[in-house]
Each structure stands twice: as C-alpha cells, then as structure tokens.
Amino acid sequence: MIIEVSGLLPLFFEESKTINSDIWGKQISFTCGEKIHITAPSGSGKTTLMHYIYGLRHDYNGALKIFSKKLSAYTPEEMSELRRCRISIVFQDLRLFPELTIRENLEVKRLLHPSIPLSLIEEMTDRLGISNRLDKPAKICSMGEQQRTAIIRSLLQPFEILLLDEPFSHLDDENCRLSAQLIQEVAEKQNACIIYADVKTTSFFENQQLLRL
Amino acid sequence: MSDFKLIKKIIKTSGGVQSRSFSLAGLTVGLFLLLASLQTYFYIQQIFREKQIRKSGYDYVSLSKVITNENMGKDNRFTEQEMQELKAHPLIEDVAPLIASRFKIVAGAGNAIPFSSDIFLESLDESFLDTVPPGFSWQEGQMKVPVLFSSDFLEMYNVFAPAYGLPQISEKTGSSINIQFYCEGPLGSRTFTAGILAFTDRVNSLLAPRSFIEWGNKNLAGVQETKASRVFIKTKDINNEELLRFLEKKQYRVNKEKTLSARSRVILRGIVAGIGILGLMISLLALLLFVYFLKLLLAQNTENIRLLLMLGYSPRWIAAKLSARFIPLYVLASLMALATVQFLYWIFRLEFFNSEVDHFPLLSFPVWTAAIVLTLFSFTINFFTARKIIYKML
C-alpha cells in the first residue's frame, strides 16, 4: 500500500461529515497503478485532502501513512525527497512563478532531475498546444495555459503518486482530453497511482474508481 | 543540485546597499582589529622567545647579599643554614647555589683574537638552566671544558671590542672559538681548552660543569667548601610583596630586571588580548547584521521559497545557496582586513626593525587560519539560521 488512511478527519470538520464520505473517518488504502477519482461539491475538503497527502498540512485527527510511514514522521529533508522523487501534484491554484516564463517554470522542476531531457519540455508543451507561449511570462498567460503548464510541470519528475486537484477546471473539453491522455501515459509508464479530485463526476481516465468525499 | 541562475531570479535580493556597505565596513574593521591583535600576539611571542627567562610558569632569579660598608670584607656567601631558610619559605619552590671558582682563571682566545682577561666560573644545578646542551659535562683528566656563556657578556664584549681593535663576534662564531683557560691556584696550575656550548640569558656569568669547579677548587685552590656567593631561586611570582619583603629583610639583592621584562610582556599581552576581544565583538556585531540581512531576504521571498519547497527543493540546499550569497562579502572583508594588517606589519617591521627585514615579513600562519576560520564560521552561522527558518516554512 502506498497510501493508508485511517479515521482521517480535518480538525475543523464535524463528525457528521463522515457519514456520507468514502474517505473522511474511514479506513481506506490506495496502491500502485490505481486511478482514484474523488468527487465532492465545493467546500467538502478536496484540496485539504490533497494537501494532507502532499504533507502541506497536518491539522487532522486520525492517521495518514505514505509508503508505510506516518506522514508526520518524515523529516523536512525526507519530505523534500518525497516530493522530488515519489509524489507529484497539480495544485488547484496552479502555483506557478508569475514572473518566470512558461519555459522557466518547467525548467525549475526539470532541474531537480537533470537526466530528464530538455526536449521533453518541447514535446509536452507541443502536445498540449502551449509551445508558442514558452517564452512568455506566466503572469500574462491565460488560466488555461497556466493550467496546462502546471500539468506538464507535475510530469517532469519520477513519481509513484500523482495528485491532481481540479486540474482541468480552466480547460475546454479538447484540452481536457489531451491533458488527461498525457497524464495517463506518463503515470502508466511508472505504474503510478493517480488521485484526481474534482467537483464533476466526468471520467477522464480509464478504469478509474469513483469515491465520494 | 541544479543551476542556481534560475533560483537567483526567483529569490531576489533587493535594496539595502547602504546598510550592507556599512556592515561590510564594520566587519572589515572588526576583523582588522582581531587579526592585528593576533599578529601582534604572535610577534610578541616571537621576539620574547629568545629572551624568555620565565619557564613553565616560574620565575628564576638570582640572589646575592647586599654589600654594605658594614659587611665589606666579611664572608658574604650563603651558609647552609641560610640556604635551608630560603628553601623553607613557602613562596620559594627551589633553591640552587651558584658555586664560584676559587682559583684564578685567565681566558684567552689564542691567535684568533689577541685578547685575554681574568674571569671566574660558576656552576649551577642543571634544572635551573634553560636547556642543558649535550656535552655539558666534565670528568677529571678531560682537557676540554664545556662552558655556557652569558649573552650579556658577549654583548658587552661586542660593545668594547672595536675600541681595542678587536673583531666583533656573533653568537654563532663565538661558539666555534676555542678559548684557552689558564687556571692557577696555591696548589698548582693547569691549562684547559674551553668550548662555548651555548649562550644563556638566565645567568649573567660563565657556567662550567659542577664537577670541573669542584675539581679546581679542591686541586688548585685547596678548598672543599661549597658555599655559594649567589643562589638561584625558583618562584611562582618574584613580584610577590611578601616574598620581596622577606628578601629585603634578609638584605638579599634580587636581579629582577629580566623578570620585569617578562612581566611587561604579560601586560602587553593583556592589552593585545583586550584589543582582540574588542575586534571579536565588533566582528560578531557585524555578523549579526548580516544574519538580519539574511532573515530579511528570507522574509521578502517567503512565498517563492515555499513554492520551491513544494516542488521538492531541499531546505538544506536552499539554505546553503542563500547563505553563500554573503560569502563574497565575507571574503572581501577578510581580504581587506588581511591586506591592511599585512601592510601595517610590513611598515612596522621596516620602520622599527630595519636590520631584521631581509625578506618580506608574512603574517603568522595562525592569522591566515583565523581569517579562513572566521569566514567559514560566518557562512555556517548564516546557513543554520537560514535552514531553521526554511524548515518552518515547510
């Protein structure tokens, strides 16, 4: 098991939240190669759950284990190693460096793994239709372009878990399809577990398991 | 880990040029004082090393009786009882008699230096000598007598030698001259060859092995007593008032001149240490300012640093890269301080010790080491400060 959740509930949530949820307050685990689609209306804690798994927040009751180790037991350096080599994420709010160009934003991630060829950036941006925006600062690009940049950035590293927090919210159907296809290709190559959170129940990945939060 | 150019673009250093220059100046001044005092300390050590009479924390001084009109003509040597009395004093660690020769000795350097003079020899316990050179021993029948020569005597000779048309001689040459000792007493006379083994600063006399003096006193002068005209004492502090009062009461004269020079060195060292501490404090204050600059840098870039951490950048790596930004300033301050100290040291040596400067006087090794250690220390302080703050951002 790569993720084990046991009785997890944010401190600021009431117990009643656990009643209709497949995750909050429950015992559940995820393994390599799984595609989990977590769906819930806004305000149900999708981003909170993503941040818990990514180790950005710890304000919860219950236990959360990543790679058989309690997340709170990871040292800062181990946590950075985890994010560098084993877990990747597409943030809901994208979190790009606005003053850097699209290329530089991607390069910041690739530099952590110099073995990843530079040409991969060109190839991926080309597939998602943003190669003509590579040298533009992120802040002047549209939200859709920024979102595709964030998706590519998440793929420019090795990972066993890929967290996607409403990754297609600013994309049209065609771009959603292209992005999902690219994500699935890269994730399957690494037999990674995809955890995809969205308000909609639309299926973008093959063989995905739907969970309510 | 990766190319830092891009990261430099993300974590920007902004403003504060004036305050940064001010801190750089402060650090340079602090380091200058610190390094200058260190260099002075080592230089004092170096110039006093040859003159040192204080050994292993003890003062070694000679005592003789004050010759007054009343005791003139009497036997003013130290009796066994007086020796015991000195030994028994709580502030005196040890006592050794200087046994004088009781026979006449005429020293000449043969043809090398046409000069001869009546001299007298003394002997002293080996433990009271700076260093006992190998070969400082004599057995009956041996024609060569090893002697230890007072540096003061050589100095005095060199002062008067030109007036008598004699060559001045260095310590090195002095050691290679064979001196003839013509020894004469009521029981007979003998000629020996004397070799100067070494020069000593502790005793202003000529020292010969005890066995030689005793042999001469017995076989040439016909006396066997071992009463000393001077004694050497070993004490923790010759300037101790109680000890001085005791010696004064006994009417013993203390040869304190050299002890005082040793004391003045202690005072000098104290002053130098004071300047050094001041320098260290100024340096630390300047370093503290740099730590604040680093904290400011981190505060201004918190969001971007947090994002780098989210992307998987190591806190240790970011801390090292940010701390390293100050290294050029630290190196610059160290270099400026070192260059100033080196320049002033050179001027000082040139001005005051002109004859000594036959090569460029480089600063002592520990001064260079201190400059390097301080630069590394500054980087380390910054690194740990930065890492601590970055850990909190995770």
Residue A71 to residue B124: CA distance in whole angstroms: 79
One-letter identity of residue A33: G
- Residue B1 is predicted with a pLDDT of 45
pLDDT, chain B, mean: 81
**Type of residue found at A31:** T
Q: What are phi and psi of B288, to 5 degrees?
A: -60, -40
Kind and range of the H or E run holding B149:
strand B144-150
| Residue A58 half-sphere exposure toward CB, CA atoms < 13 A | 8
pLDDT at B14 over 70: no
Residue B55 reports pLDDT greater than 60: no
How far is it, in rounded angstroms, from Cα B56 to Cα B35?
27
Torsion on CA atoms B227, B231, B236, B242, rounded to nearest 10? 90
Query: Does position B34 have pLDDT exceeding 60, yes or no?
Result: yes
Structure tokens at A149: 């940049």
Amino acid in the structure at residue B113: I
Q: Please determine, for residue B42, whether its predicted confidence score (pLDDT) is greater than 70.
A: yes
- d(CA B30, CA B290) in angstroms, rounded, equals 14
User: Are β-strands A69-70 and A87-90 bridged in parallel, bridged antiparallel, or unpaired?
Assistant: unpaired
Q: Are B138 and B197 spatial neighbours (Cβ–Cβ below 8 Å)? A: no
Give per-residue pLDDT as tens, B139-161: 888 888 888 887 777 787 788 77
* Candidate from A89, A107, A153 with C-beta closest to B6: A107
Determine the Cα–Cα distance for residues A46 and A39; give it in Å rounded to an integer. Answer: 8
Task: Tally A–B CB contacts below 8 A.
Answer: 62
Confidence of residue B52 (pLDDT cuts 50, 70, 90): very low
pLDDT at res. A35:
93
Count of other CB atoms within 10 angstroms of residue B134 = 8
CB contact under 8 A, A108 and B310: no
Q: Picking from B179-183, B256-260, B334-338, which range would have the lowest pLDDT averaged per residue? A: B256-260
Q: Kind of pairing, strands A35-39 and A209-212?
A: parallel
Query: Could you tell me the sign of the dihedral formed by the alpha carbons of B362, B366, B369, B374, in that order?
Result: negative
For residue B301, give both structure tokens. Answer: 């870039």
- Name the β-bridge partners of B192: B181
A157 → closest Cβ in B312, B314, B394: B312
Count, residues in chain A: 213
User: Which amino acid does the sequence have at A142?
Assistant: S
3-state SS record for chain A: CCEEEEEEEECCCCHHHHCCCCCCCCEEEECCCCEEEEECCCCCCHHHHHHHHCCCCCCEEEEEEECCEEHHHCCHHHHHHHHHHCEEEECCCCCCCCCCEHHHHHHHHHCCCCCCCCHHHHHHHHHCCCHHHCCCEHHHCCHHHHHHHHHHHHHCCCCCEEEEECCCCCCCHHHHHHHHHHHHHHHHHCCCEEEEEECCCCCCCCCCEEEEC
Nearest to B364 by CA among B104, B42, B37: B42
Q: Residue B334 class from Cβ within 10 Å (0-12 exposed, 13-18 middle, 19+ buried)?
A: buried
3-state helix, strand, coil split of chain B in percent (to 5) is 55, 20, 25
A80–B308 CB contact, under 8 Å? no
- Rounded to a whole number of angstroms, the distance from the CA of A183 to the nearest CA of chain B is 18
Decide if pLDDT at B284 tops 90: no
> A105 vs A109, B8, B119, B135, B248, CA distance in Å?
7, 13, 93, 81, 88
Residue B215 contacts by C-beta under 8 Å, 6 or more apart in sequence? B138, B140
**Residue that wins the pLDDT comparison between A113 and B178:** A113
Percent of chain B with pLDDT over 90: 11
Verify whether the Cβ–Cβ distance A77 to B314 is below 8 Å.
yes
Element (H or E) spanning B104, and its range?
strand B104-109
Residues of chain A with pLDDT below 70 are: none
Q: pLDDT exceeding 70 applies to what percent of chain B?
A: 86
List domains and CATH numbers for chain A: 3-212 (3.40.50.300)
Of the residues B14, B311, B389, the best mutation for testing chain A's interface (the one with the most A CB atoms within 10 Å of its CB) is B311
Do A95 and B316 lie within an 8 Å CB cutoff? no
pLDDT at B314: 93
Structure tokens at B366: 């520990």
pLDDT digits (tens, 9 = 90+) for B295-318: 888 888 999 999 999 999 999 999
B9: closest chain A residue by CA: A100
Cβ of B85: how many Cβ atoms within 10 Å?
15
Digit-coded pLDDT (tens) for B321-361:
888 888 888 899 999 999 999 999 888 887 776 655 567 78
Helix (H, G, I), strand (E, B) or coil at B128: helix
* pTM strictly above 0.90: no
Task: Produce one character per residue of B304-323: b if its CB has 16 or more CB atoms within 10 Å, e if not.
Answer: bbebbbbbbbbbbbbbbbbb
Rounded alpha-carbon distances, angstroms, from residue B122 to A124, B100, B217, B312: 98, 4, 11, 82
| Gap between the Cα atoms of B134 and B144, Å rounded | 14
Please give the angle made by the CA atoms of A38, A42 and A46, to the nearest 5 degrees.
Answer: 40
Cβ-Cβ contacts under 8 Å, A109 against chain B: 311-312
Gap from B392 CA to chain A (nearest CA, Å): 9
Are B105 and B180 in contact by the 8 Å Cβ rule? The answer is no
User: DSSP assignment, residue B162?
Assistant: G
Contact A52, A4 (CB under 8 A): no
pLDDT confidence of residue B153: 77
Closest CA to A164 of A141, A130, A187, A191: A187
Single-letter amino acid code for the residue at B161:
A
CB atoms within 10 A of CB B214: 17
- What residues does B61 pair with on adjacent strands? B233
CB B98 within 8 A of CB B122: yes
What pLDDT does A96 receive? 95
Mutation to test the B interface, candidates A112, A139, A153, most B Cβ within 10 Å:
A112
Q: Is B2–A112 a contact, with Cβ atoms under 8 angstroms apart?
A: yes
Which tokens sit at B202? 């502790």
How many whole angstroms separate alpha carbon B29 and alpha carbon B17? 18
Tokens at B229, concatenated: 């005209």
Rounded Cα gap, residues B291 and B299, in angstroms: 12
What's the distance, CA A204 to chain centroid? 14
Average pLDDT over residues B61-74: 77
Residue B195 has pLDDT above 50, yes or no: yes
Could you tell me if the ipTM is greater than 0.90? yes
Which residue in chain B is spatially nearest to A74 when comparing CA positions?
Answer: B394
